[in-house]
Amino acid sequence: MSRIDETKDFIPVRIAVLTVSDSRSLDQDRSGQVLVDRIAAAGHTLADRRILPDERDQIAAQLRTWVADPEVDVVISTGGTGLTGRDVTVEAHRDVYEKEIEAFGTVFTIVSMQKIGTSAVQSRATGGVAGGTYLFALPGSPGACKDGWDEILSLQLDYRHRPCNFVEIFPRLTEHQRRK
């Protein structure tokens, strides 16, 4: 079972938060604020925070900007993961991914099932990697952001988490780009 190895030092990561919404402003962004608060409480650094409308090209462009930024290690978006016509966050993420982390969506669904039952099938939470940066898309509700952070991301973004975590493999995410 997973555990925190207290003999290891905590390594903070730099996380950007993107809220995808046609109607929210920063002061109304409860889901983004949940993530910001949890990032700070965990000891990580908020690298940037933005709100964008449900426009696939704009979302993908912002993700690419953060992937290219050496001051951003992780991007977490909230919103736009549902099934309606305006929900294009997942597609924007997949436009950017080099590799998808398929199990992230599966584990998120398992966590959600425990909270909201079969309604969890309506979420398309996703995760991936591009340019050595992790990207995760969570649903737009504060509860989903709490679940995604508390049950998955807080652990996988903690270098002390065992048996393994995302932080310890940061140096190897771009090994395919190195010259031999």
% residues pLDDT > 90 (the chain): 83
Q: What is the mean pLDDT of the chain?
A: 94
Residue 174 covered by a domain: no
CATH classification of the domain holding 97: 3.40.980.10
Residue 176 covered by a domain: no
Residue 51 covered by a domain: yes
Q: Cα 131 vs. chain centroid, distance in angstroms?
A: 15
Asked whether residue 178 carries a pLDDT value surpassing 80, the answer given is no
Q: Looking at the 3D structure of the chain, how many domains does it have?
A: 1
- Summarised one tens digit per residue, pLDDT across range 110-129 is 999 999 998 888 889 999 99
Residue 180 covered by a domain: no
pLDDT at 83: 87
Residue 28 covered by a domain: yes
- Summarised one tens digit per residue, pLDDT across range 28-86 is 999 999 999 999 999 999 999 999 999 999 999 999 999 999 999 999 999 999 888 89
Report the DSSP beta bridge partners of residue 4: 161
Domain limits for position 153: 12-168
Question: In whole angstroms, what is the distance from residue 163 CA to residue 151 CA?
Answer: 16
Residue 179 covered by a domain: no
Residue 21 covered by a domain: yes
Residue 7 covered by a domain: no
Per residue, the 3-state secondary structure of the chain, as one string, reads CCEECCCCCCCCCEEEEEEECCCCCHHHCHHHHHHHHHHHHHCCEEEEEEEECCCHHHHHHHHHHHHHCCCCCEEEEECCCCCCCCCCHHHHHHHHCCEECHHHHHHHHHHHHHHHHHHHHHCCCEEEEECCEEEEEECCCHHHHHHHHHHHHHHHCCCCEECCCCHHHHHHCCHHHCCC
